[in-house]
Amino acid sequence: MNVRLMNFNEKIAAVFAATLKLIHTNGFHGTPMSKIAQESDVAIGTIYHYFPSKDDLIFALFKHCRSLLNDYIFDGIKEDFDYKASFFHVWRNFVKFYLENETVFSFFDQFFSSPYHEKNKAEIQEPIGGQNKVLDFLQEGIDQKILKQVDVHLLVASYIGVALATVHSIKFKDLKFTEKNMEELMEIIWDGAVNRNKNN
Amino acid sequence: MNVRLMNFNEKIAAVFAATLKLIHTNGFHGTPMSKIAQESDVAIGTIYHYFPSKDDLIFALFKHCRSLLNDYIFDGIKEDFDYKASFFHVWRNFVKFYLENETVFSFFDQFFSSPYHEKNKAEIQEPIGGQNKVLDFLQEGIDQKILKQVDVHLLVASYIGVALATVHSIKFKDLKFTEKNMEELMEIIWDGAVNRNKNN
DNA sequence: TGCAACCGAATGAACGTTCGATTGATGAAT
DNA sequence: ATTCATCAATCGAACGTTCATTCGGTTGCA
């Protein structure tokens, strides 16, 4: 891959967009390079000019999307938010991001459950988007005795797990994305995560 | 597909086993019919005798695995279990099943995040294994005022979402499957789900 | 002049599926 | 008891398609 990727060539942006769209609707199978070229109006040769192989393209796209997500979920936290407010804010952003970027959600979903994930695990580090920052944030809550005094990974699994399941459920029409539902969900997670010997 | 499938031909069992294994290690890509034939010692022609297409094979395998999971998770519930005990029991079985059947977990994971899922949604009904029974079970808890008085899908998302995230986390080595961890996780989910105006 | 960006026809490998042939079990007809 | 017809089960070589990738070429900026 190429350093120029960072200042974001229009061609590359088109390729990324086309790849996301195609994977969303046709899956990882069913999105050959030829269709990516067609959909993005970039010649196959050009794509291979930037990405040595299809795998490299997928992996670069993954890193790009991950950074989008990371930027998004911690955005808009005000100084005067207490821990609970931030806890809600980040979780809601997480769900919102995936709902607003359905193709990214599909892509991540497929990426993480495919052997791509395993193969590149070493290079990925943070298994689910922004999880390291989330992990630090939850650890902070543990240290301040706001959250349960348990292994932080248990809380991460709850926090992220419920968010992902929620998005799935909304996507497959079992659930409506209403203010009421989101608030009730956040109550469920908060009540589960919070240290009951102290706060509320 | 064939009715004889139900009394489980040895050949078909071999094909199913080989397919699960291959999909687990090589993903949905990377498991061509030729390799399934090779790994299972069943001729390609024979596989096509039972399944009209690769899609049909995958879908039949899905239904088979789903019924395995359904049988498993509600097994072993004693008459004298109260609701909380059953709540824990089923959740623990859910996690245990996936940990004991890693290939099935991989397969479901990939199946649900692929367009297979969308295409066959009408025929699937219960999106994640055994979810309908889980849904009924949780609805019962709501009706009895034991659980929070919310849309049951919110509780399903929490219950299943945390279980899936837990298995993922264990699989990718962030988490150990210890008694202590499982109990703390169940406390987290229970505290989140329970109706705080009443019980504990 | 050199080099990065760009193009798409051509290539060879890999894939899903087909099909004609073989086997063996069942049972009706002789 | 023997023959024969039928048909499901089995097999794998062969087919046509589709895929990822290559490569020789053009363009245009520095």
| pLDDT, tens only, B72-123 | 999 998 888 999 999 999 999 999 999 999 999 999 999 999 888 877 776 7
Handedness of CA A113, A140, B181, B88 (dihedral sign): negative
B44 CA, C23 C1': Å apart: 17
Going by CATH, does the domain composed of A66-193 fall within 3.90.920.20?
Answer: no
Residue A1 has a pLDDT of 35
Question: What parts of chain A have a pLDDT lower than 50?
Answer: 1-6, 127-130, 199-200
Residue B164: the pLDDT is 97
Q: How far is residue B34's CA from residue A20's CA, in Å, rounded to a whole number?
A: 29
Structure tokens at A123: 């290079």
Question: Given CB atoms, is A177 within the 8 Å cutoff of chain B?
Answer: no
**Does the distance separating the beta carbons of B164 and A164 come in below 8 Å?**
yes
Residues of chain B with CATH 1.10.357.10: 65-193
* Chain A interface mutation, best of B169, B177, B187, highest count of A Cβ atoms under 10 Å: B169
- A-chain residues near B196 (CB < 8 A): 191
Q: Which CATH number does A1-52 carry?
A: 1.10.10.60
pLDDT at B118: 77
Query: For B51-63, what is each residue's pLDDT tens digit?
Result: 999 999 999 999 9
Residues 48-87 of B with CB under 8 A from A: none
- Indicate the residue type of A129: G
Calculate the alpha carbon distances from A178 to A89, A170, B3, B67 in Å. Answer: 15, 10, 44, 33
Domain limits, CATH 1.10.10.60, in chain B: 1-52
pLDDT at A125: 59
The Cα B189–Cα B87 span in angstroms is 10
- Residue A199 pLDDT: 44
CATH fit for domain B65-193, picks 1.10.260.40, 3.30.70.260, 3.40.720.10, 1.10.357.10: 1.10.357.10
Q: By the CB < 8 Å criterion, does B199 face chain A?
A: no
B2 touches strand D (CB under 7 A): yes
Chain B interface disruption, residue of A151, A154, A164, A196, most B CBs within 10 A: A154
How far is A183 from A165, CA to CA, in rounded Å?
Answer: 15
Q: What percent of chain B has pLDDT over 90?
A: 76
For residue range A89-134, list pLDDT tens digits in order: 999 999 999 999 999 999 999 999 988 887 776 676 554 444 588 9
The pair of structure tokens assigned to A68 is 């989008």
User: pLDDT value at position A132?
Assistant: 80
CA of B21 to C1' of D11 (A): 23
**Cβ of B48 less than 7 A from strand C:** yes
So what's the pLDDT on residue A29? 87
